[in-house]
Amino acid sequence: MSEATEKVEEKLGVKVLRIGMILLVMAIGVFGWVEGSTYTATGARFPLFLSAGIVILGTGVLVKEVRTMRRGGAHSTAAYDYEVDGLTPIEVLRRGATWLALLIGYVIMLWLVGYMATTVTWLILSLRIGARLRWLSAIIAAIIATALLEVVIQLLNVPLPMGLFYVGI
């Protein structure tokens, strides 16, 4: 494998991961913005301001990525998909639709069952589908990542959605 091919493959993974993370962070930001807008003036406004910033910055980065893809330039994620993976346009669309469906499912499940169970489930599916990890590896990694995130959230004392049908872990 040539050095140029290795760089293209590395950039493809980084681009796909970046777009997925942007969409995930924006979804969490929108959800936090809605939740934070119900706090009183004397309550904690941190989630509202943080969520607004996340949505604004995420939108800017997403617009940049989409423009690059539309131009089909050398740094386009779609161009890497065609060159490296040998995918057809339908397969690229299917890959994008899969990740979009996962993100929409994450937001809906946040509302229904709350943060903890949704995050573990979403990470397991994402690691299984995206990183192609074995089930056991994906489950262990998802539990560890969610536990570490929970520690940070508890330290910051940030309220997260419990969901209509709360399922705690």
Calculate the alpha carbon distances from 6 to 69, 79, 86, 162, 167 in Å. 20, 15, 15, 43, 43
Q: What is the pLDDT of residue 33?
A: 61
User: Over the stretch 70-95, which tens digit does the pLDDT of each residue have?
Assistant: 666 555 555 555 555 666 666 766 77
Task: Check residue 43 and give its pLDDT.
Answer: 46
Please name the residues in contact with 92: beta carbons below 8 A apart, sequence gap of 6 or more. Answer: 78, 81, 82
- Counting runs of H as helices and runs of E as strands, what totals does the chain give? 6, 0
Confidence at residue 42, expressed as pLDDT on a 0 to 100 scale: 45
Res 44: pLDDT: 56
- What pLDDT is attached to residue 38? 60
Distance separating the N- and C-terminal Cα atoms of the chain: 45
Low-confidence ranges of the chain (pLDDT < 50): 4-6, 8, 10, 42-43
> Amino acid letter at 166?
Y
